[in-house]
Structure 1
């Protein structure tokens, strides 16, 4: 497979029982934890996510996951795209999933370092299951027009309005103005549960997080995300969107 950012192995196997998508990473790579998280959460996010068929957790130094193969395309996030309502509906479907009693990432811990006061991260507490990585490469749209959420490397427990914020930054990076991106985020019921002050604080925390990510590894897409997150934070803190 030509796409994908984190797996050393990504391929479609054409087997006697049909096609299977496989992804893998060396067991001595720090990123192997993300595959273990994905294996852990998969039974709880079907059928929104393709079913994991098997997990080889230590074979010849590799951790490999096998998934139901889904024929589809990645959504277009650019302004005016007909895919955007489908994307928002998929985000709403994630929020409707029960949050399982598993050792998920906690939103307060994930973002605490990016608040002026770590205690301020308590605003992120909640019991909603979050995907948090709305890269368009992490979503497939099959021929039936519905969306399937893939790559559950960062399943997180927290307040429901975090996922709309994560999508919003992706939309700005894809060419939306902040106002346009917030219009799409408002289509999520969860967005309306967030006080303005919380959105302001999270926008600033997101900008700091993406700045850290881009500084550590300045790939073009990470730099675009950092720019988009700063644009959102700047708009909110300037009161443009009030």
Structure 2
């Protein structure tokens, strides 16, 4: 299994000023904190309990550790604050930003990450949650989000960069089909057009299953507006990544029966472009495990696309 896993900072290791700001939001001192697994942020991620019994989820990161991470936290603050109250997401209780450290204080969700490999009941619950999110009524803040295709346009151009900058470590099948992959990925931006809420990073570590079986979707820095089905397709990549024998094509047929095959191919090719291009770069500061995870995702996407094209050529 390929679980998303980074290097965390513990609550006790946060600067005193950051911990004090969080306690001001909560109105009581934090007396217990449990670091949570999963994800790739080089900052903290803790379930905390205060002296008066209040619970919350806190995550904080410093620009001095990774210059991009505070930007993502600031985006998540804005997106989470704009969510309607009945959306299956954590509530934003408050935040802190001193120019270096950025912290979010969110409602604590009683739940756990889905089992891996995926179980059918939990997978179905996630599908339901993602469909509901796509149909979320747009507040003014959400309506101002950028387009999904626009947001991914540079990432999906990775095959073009690889045409200009050959990589000897590129997957052999991808190297043989580089022009076709680039042409296919070029259609992904248009395929993702729409006005539905898109999470943009649907995978097991960004999902929590409650005791009643319902699902809460967490980590929102990549939210955009576009084709809501993108999140369900991205989730199937996570399913196949964690179980090579999973029938992702059968799930796709049931989940997205009205999405044209060419649009699916375009987005898969776009995702493959991103993973193949970014995974050849050095590890980002504070994120020593992310490239290996990206390479694993890229390999899964390419094998899936290879099967789809092989089946079609023999039809």
TM (norm. structure 1) is 0.87
Cross-structure match for 2:109: 70
C-alpha RMSD of matched pairs (Å): 2.5
The size of the alignment, in residue pairs, is 238
User: 1:213 is matched with which residue: 278, 287, 307?
Assistant: 278
Listed as ranges, the matches of 1:51-70 within 5 Å are 51-58=91-98, 61-70=100-109
Report runs of 4+ in structure 1 exceeding 6 Å deviation: none
Listed as ranges, the matches of 1:68-217 within 5 Å are 68-78=107-117, 80-99=119-138, 100-104=142-146, 106-111=148-153, 112-114=156-158, 115-116=182-183, 120=187, 121-177=189-245, 180-188=247-255, 191-216=256-281, 217=283
Whether contact under 8 Å (1:53, 1:68) holds in the other structure is yes
Whether contact under 8 Å (1:161, 1:193) holds in the other structure is no
Cross-structure match for 1:225: 297
Cross-structure match for 1:39: 77
Cross-structure match for 2:171: none
Residue deviations 1:54-84, cap 9 Å, x none? 011226x311000001121101242554311
Structure with higher Rg: it is 2
Give the direction of change, closer, same or farther, for the CA distance of 1:212–1:103 in structure 2 (3 Å limit).
same
Whether contact under 8 Å (2:148, 2:198) holds in the other structure is no
TM (norm. structure 2) is 0.68
Whether contact under 8 Å (1:139, 1:149) holds in the other structure is yes
